[in-house]
Amino acid sequence: MCWADLTHTFVDLGMSPPCESYLSADQLDQGETFYPLHVRVCSQCLLVQLPAYIPAEDIFTDYAYFSSYSDSWVRHAEKFIDLAAARLGLDDESFIVEVASNDGYLLQHSVARGIRSLGIEPAANVAEAAVARGVPTEVMFLGEETGSKVAERHGRADLVVANNVFAHVPDIVDFSKGLRALVADTGYVSIEIPHLLRLIDGNEYDTIYHEHFSYLSLLTTQRVLAAAGLTVVDVEELPTHGGSLRTWSMPTESAVPASAAVEAVLAEEAAAGLHTVAGHYGFAGAVAKVRNDLLEFLIACARDGKKVVGYGAPGKGNTLLNHCGIRSDLMEFSVDRNPHKHGKFLPGTHIPIHPVEALAEARPDYVLVMPWNLRKEISAQLEYVREWGGKLVVALPELEIF
């Protein structure tokens, strides 16, 4: 954000391959490139950040993540559209733009309401799924220049949405200027971000991976948006992704006074030390405990002849497995609902990915649930595992068997 030298470490997770670089069988005997996961905190602006070891174009141009495979996330999106329509009075004369619109998981709900909608999505393969859902989508990365061009073609939006993308852009100020270019002078920008405070509180270190260039507090979010001419006027705390913030911003020249919620979240961050560099220290010890507890559990299972498999193949799971050095001798395979991942192998660990039906065939003693943020949804889906005495396990925020 401010281009100061980065000299303070937040946490160093060693080396890991890109978390979405799933392998085919013919790639298993080839080399893989590992990059540092060394997160710093800026002593000047306090932005917690991972240097852009991998260009965003290499990560997001052809992408393996499809939002609609999470039922709870689709419901979350529908609820948001209902809320936004009521809050802003959106109707068939309004215009919504979502940046990083993925497969249309959110805008399908605004389209169903008759609200003019447009997605902006850099991954062409994912954008195709959105178009098939009836969501008009432009394939591009957002910045000030591209945002201005979209606004020239389609007009400025009453609402611009950027859910869980703010952390995914290496030039966060230029991206924010793109948001400002898209929104009408009296419109709103709604952004959802994993909250750095909750990441620390919940030991959620598996949310650190090369796709996430920034780890944001409300304070640093305010500062980035202000550099682009946007002012945060309200904030909501959400349970998603282990604890997130939804900020509501307006162009600075027309912004209404900030709500009491903004001051309350800032005060909580300050009390936790996140408004100083020193307040960011100490996370490494909590990370080491998560790793040690999980490894001790898996090694004990191997000694006792217990079978462990994984559920899910999310990016966060690959951070966890690579940091812990877990391979198929400790976790035989993982399953995932996304058919695009079936028959492939997890990056770095080479653990195979199977369809969900493989769980019932293998009848494992334990299932390590890697998307712990969807624990409630997945627990209901995997209730049948208990039929043969199987149990579920999560590693974060601490090891738990249930």
- Give yes or no: residues 321 and 197 share one domain: no
> In this structure, is residue 42 part of a structural domain?
no
Check residue 192 and give its pLDDT. Answer: 97
- Mean predicted confidence (pLDDT) in 271-286: 95
Nearest to 228 by CA among 171, 150, 175, 156: 175
CB-based contact 16:322 (threshold 8 Å) = yes
Q: Rounded to whole angstroms, how far apart are CA atoms 373 and 388? A: 25
- Give yes or no: residues 111 and 230 share one domain: yes
From 165-169, 270-274, 349-353, 391-395, the region with the lowest mean pLDDT = 165-169
- Mean predicted confidence (pLDDT) in 352-359: 98
Per the structure, the complete domain to which residue 320 belongs is given by: 283-401
Question: Exposure of 86 by Cβ count < 10 A (0-12 exposed, 13-18 middle, 19+ buried)?
Answer: exposed
> In this structure, is residue 141 part of a structural domain?
yes
Q: What is the pTM of this model?
A: 0.86
- Give yes or no: residues 240 and 353 share one domain: no
- Give yes or no: residues 305 and 259 share one domain: no
The total of structural domains in the chain comes to 2
- CATH code for position 94: 3.40.50.150
> In this structure, is residue 27 part of a structural domain?
no
* DSSP H or E segment with residue 162: strand 157-163
Place of tokens 């690959």: 318
Q: Give the neighbor-by-neighbor strand order of the sheet with 366-369.
A: 353-354, 334-335, 308-311, 366-369, 391-394, 400-401
Check residue 20 and give its pLDDT. Answer: 86
Residue 114 to residues 109, 261, 264, 358: CA-CA distances in angstroms?
Answer: 9, 32, 36, 41
Using a pLDDT cut of 90, give the percent of the chain over it.
Answer: 89
Q: Give the neighbor-by-neighbor strand order of the sheet with 137-138.
A: 137-138, 116-120, 95-99, 157-163, 183-194, 244-251, 230-238
- Give yes or no: residues 317 and 268 share one domain: no
> In this structure, is residue 3 part of a structural domain?
no
> In this structure, is residue 38 part of a structural domain?
no
Query: Residue 297 pLDDT more than 70?
Result: yes
Check residue 147 and give its pLDDT. Answer: 98
pLDDT tens-digit map of 61-112: 555 567 776 788 899 999 999 999 999 999 999 999 999 999 999 999 999 9
> In this structure, is residue 186 part of a structural domain?
yes
- Give yes or no: residues 200 and 213 share one domain: yes
pLDDT tens-digit map of 176-188: 999 999 999 999 9
H helices of 228-304, where?
A: 260-271, 283-303
Place of tokens 């911003």: 249
* More confident position, 140 or 211: 140
pLDDT tens-digit map of 20-67: 899 999 999 999 999 999 999 999 999 999 988 887 666 665 555 677
> In this structure, is residue 52 part of a structural domain?
no
> In this structure, is residue 195 part of a structural domain?
yes
Residues paired with residue 352 on neighbouring β-strands, in sequence order? 345
Query: Residue 255 pLDDT more than 70?
Result: yes
Check residue 62 and give its pLDDT. Answer: 56
